[in-house]
Amino acid sequence: MDTPHTNAPILQVEDLRVSFHTYAGEVKAVRGVSLELHEGEALAIVGESGCGKSVTAKAIMGLIHGKNTEIKPGSRILYHGENILEYNARQMRHYKGGECAIVFQDALASLNPTMRVGRQIMENLMIHKGMDRAEAAREAVRMLGLVGIPDPEKRVREYPHQFSGGMRQRVMIAIAFACAPRMLICDEPTTALDVTIQEQILELIRDLQRIHHTAVILITHDLGVVANMAQRVMVMYSGVVVECGSCEDIFYRPRHPYTWALIRSVPRLDLENKQALSNIPGAPPDLLNPPAGCPFCTRCDYCMDICREQMPAVTHFGKGHEAACWLHHPMAPHVDMPDLEAEQ
Residue 54 near Mg ion by CB under 5 A: yes
Nearer to ligand SF4 among residue 117 and residue 327 (C-beta): 327
Q: Is 180 left (phi over 0), alpha (psi -120 to 50) or beta?
A: left
Q: Rounded to the nearest whole angstrom, what is the least distance from the CB of residue 330 to ligand SF4 in the complex?
A: 14
97 binds ligand SF4 (CB under 6 A): no
How big is the site for ligand ATP, counted in residues (CB under 6 A)?
12
Identity of the residue, 140 or 185, whose beta carbon is nearer to ligand ATP in the bound complex: 185
Q: Binds 144, which of Mg ion, ligand SF4, ligand ATP, none (CB < 5 to 8 A, cut-off by type)? A: none
Give the range of 7-15, 54-62, 92-100, 269-277 binding Mg ion by CB under 5 A: 54-62
Judged by beta carbon, residue 54 or residue 209, the one nearer ligand ATP is: 54
With CB under 6 A as the contact rule, the residue among 127, 302, 314, 337 that binds ligand SF4 is 302
Q: Nearer to ligand ATP by C-beta: 259 or 315?
A: 259
Q: Determine, following the binding rule CB under 6 A, whether residue 228 of this chain makes contact with ligand ATP.
A: no
Q: Which is nearer to ligand SF4, 232 or 255 (CB)?
A: 255
Question: Per CB under 6 A, does 75 bind ligand ATP?
Answer: no
Site for ligand ATP in 282-321 (CB under 6 A): 287
Please select the residue that binds ligand SF4; options are 52, 181, 224, 312, rule is CB under 6 A. Answer: 312
Segment contacting ligand SF4 by CB under 6 A, of 13-21, 201-209, 215-223, 301-309: 301-309
Per CB under 6 A, 237 contacts ligand SF4? no
Nearer to ligand SF4, 232 or 256 (CB): 256
Please say whether the dihedral angle defined by the alpha carbons of residues 326, 328, 333 and 337, taken in this order, is positive or negative: positive
CB of 300 to ligand SF4, least distance (A): 3
Binding characters for ligand ATP, 10-49, by CB under 6 A (x = yes): ----------x-x----x-x-------------------x
Which residues lie closer than 8 Å to 94 by C-beta, 6 or more apart?
128
Kindly list the residues in this chain that would bind ligand SF4 in the complex (CB under 6 A). Answer: 256-257, 294, 296-297, 300, 302-304, 307, 312, 325-327
